[in-house]
Amino acid sequence: MPVVVGAIVVLLALAAFFVLAARRRGHPSDDIDSFRRQIDALSPEARRQTSERMKPSDGRSTDDDGANGT
C-alpha cells in the first residue's frame, strides 16, 4: 500500500512539474493568441457589430441590448 501511495505522489509531482514547464514554454503561444484575438477584434466583422448597435440612435436596439450585462 505505501508503495502505491508513494507512486501516486511521485506521479502527481511529475504531472505538476510538466504542467508548470508547459505553462512557461507556452508563453510565446499565449502572446500569439492574444495578438490574434486583438487583430480579430479589429476586423470588419467585429466592427460591424459595434456600428450596428449605433443605428437605432434612440438606444432601443431590439435584440442585443441587455445581452451585454447591466
Partner 1 sequence: MMVPMARDLAIDLGTANTLVYMKGRGIVLNEPSVIALNRQTGEVLATGREAWQMIGRTPGYIVAVRPLRGGAITDFEITERMIRLLLQRVGVSRFTRPKVVICVPSAITEVERRAVTDAARRAGAADANLIEQPMAAAIGADLPIDEPVGNMVIDIGGGTSETAVISLGGIVALEAVRVGSFDIDAAIQNYVRREHGIAIGERTAEEIKVAIGSADPTPDENQAEVRGRDLMTGLPKTVILTPEEVRYAIEDVVSSIVASVIRCLSKAPPELSQDFLVRGMYLVGGGGLLRGLAERIERETEVPVKMSNVPLEAVVLGAGHVIEHYEALKGMFMGARR
Contact 56, 62 (CB under 8 A): yes
DSSP assigned state of 43: S
Residue 70 touches partner 1, criterion: CB under 8 A: yes
Q: Interaction with partner 1 in 10-49: which residues (CB under 8 A)?
A: 34-35, 37-44, 46-47, 49
CB 21, min distance to partner 1, A: 26
CA distance 49 to 61: 12
Interacting span for partner 1 (CB under 8 A) from 4-12, 13-21, 22-30, 59-67: 59-67
Interacting span for partner 1 (CB under 8 A) from 6-14, 15-23, 60-68: 60-68
Question: What residues contact 61, with CB distance under 8 A and at least 6 apart?
Answer: 53, 55
